[in-house]
Amino acid sequence: MSQDAFSNRSRAVQAMGRIEPETGGVTPPIHVSTTYIRDPDNGYASGFVYGRPDNATTREAEEILAMLEEAPAGALLFSSGMAAATTVFRALDPGDHIVAPKVMYWALRNWLATEAARWGIVVDFVDATDLAALRGAMRPGATKLVWIETPANPLWDVADIRAAAKIAHEAGARLAVDSTCASPVLTRPIALGADIVMHSATKVLNGHSDVIAGALAGARDDDFWRRIVAIRKSEGAIIGPFEAYLLTRGLRTLHLRVERQCASAMTLTRLFSEHPLVSGVLYPGLPDHPGHAIAAGQMEGGFGYMLSIRAAGGAQAAIGAAARVRLWKRATSLGGVESLIEHRASIEGPGTPCPDDLLRLSVGIEDARDLYDDLDAALRTTRD
């Protein structure tokens, strides 16, 4: 029976079922060579020429991710999530118009607001959860890309991927989805109509806070996708072989981690929704969340591993609570096995859409009750 007969989950666990031919090892090796021997006819029958555009260890991780995302064009790994995302925008032509969400990963939003114009790209920011606003922002013939993020960091807005794809395609544009905070375990945007999926693979795809990486997965091997491939090749934005090896390790346990993290996030959401010192919880799994119905229709098996809480005592209560936790770690990033807490407005600075009483929580795989008790004690100590 071929590997194709098994579920994506099983195939990911076994790194596509490959066995290292020389030793019979079940763990994929690390290929670190930067250059390769030419054939007698001066060709490269092996398919490898040089380490900047390609690497066998990187290919293995890309194949696992492409399989998980159900991406016909395949997947590409980059040296960071920002490198992956900005490559998509730089594959456009000067004068092209793009539409992006008001609530999105802050560093990318800042790049679009400050750097995109240098590449001749015109950007409009809209509320991506408002389909009328999204449709109204389209400039048929000029709009070439619609970018959405769902769930959107750090307010966890939910955009309708199917509807956004329809709006983009009707205007002659492509839809790209930042699915970092969902992962292919929960959402597969290409199956919902997206053209490109982006991940900060630093986060839950790797899951161990020891790799910086980005990823793109494509629905079609068309001219635009080949332009993205060419930019990565020429500029050397590929991930290194050791990082690719670690990412493959992370992908092998992705399903287990995401399932545990989603279950714990839901538990914490319910507990903090009733907490006297919490004025609000932002999480798509709540029935009264504005995007709950959409999330339920496009997310499978959970509503994500990220949530935010708003401290009833305002900014100082939020900052004070983050300072007093013992189990949660005060650190930037998300998706790792360890739970992280962050006063996000302090990080993003002026212009952030993030309320100053908000704490962003990345839920790891610790005991959910321990996580609750730790933050509960920190909130109460701050009050006292």
What positions carry a catalytic annotation? 52, 105, 178, 203
φ/ψ (deg, to 5) at 379: -65, -40
Using an 8 Å Cβ cutoff, are 128 and 152 in contact?
yes
* DSSP result, 248-297: HHHHHTHHHHHHHHHHHHHHHHHHHHT-TTEEEEE-TTSTTSTTHHHHHH
Cα–Cα dist 200/181, whole Å: 9
* DSSP result, 39-108: PTTS--TTS--BTTT--HHHHHHHHHHHHHHT-TTEEEEESSHHHHHHHHHHTSPTT-EEEEESSS-HHH
The identity of residue 142, as a single letter, is A
Provide the CB-side half-sphere exposure for 24 (13 A, CA). Answer: 0
Cα–Cα dist 123/203, whole Å: 26
Q: What angle do CA 84, 89, 91 make, to 5 degrees?
A: 95
Both tokens of residue 60?
């293995």
Cα–Cα dist 227/357, whole Å: 43
Q: Tokens 């993030």 sit at which residue?
A: 354
3-state secondary structure of 143: strand
Enumerate residues 6+ apart whose C-beta is below 8 A from 353.
Answer: 102, 103, 155
Both tokens of residue 270?
């319910």
Element (H, E) at 188: none
238 DSSP assignment: P
Hey, what long-range contacts does 267-272 have (CB within 8 A, 24 or more apart)? 267/368, 267/369, 267/372, 268/307, 268/361, 268/363, 268/368, 268/371, 268/372, 269/307, 271/372, 272/309, 272/372, 272/375
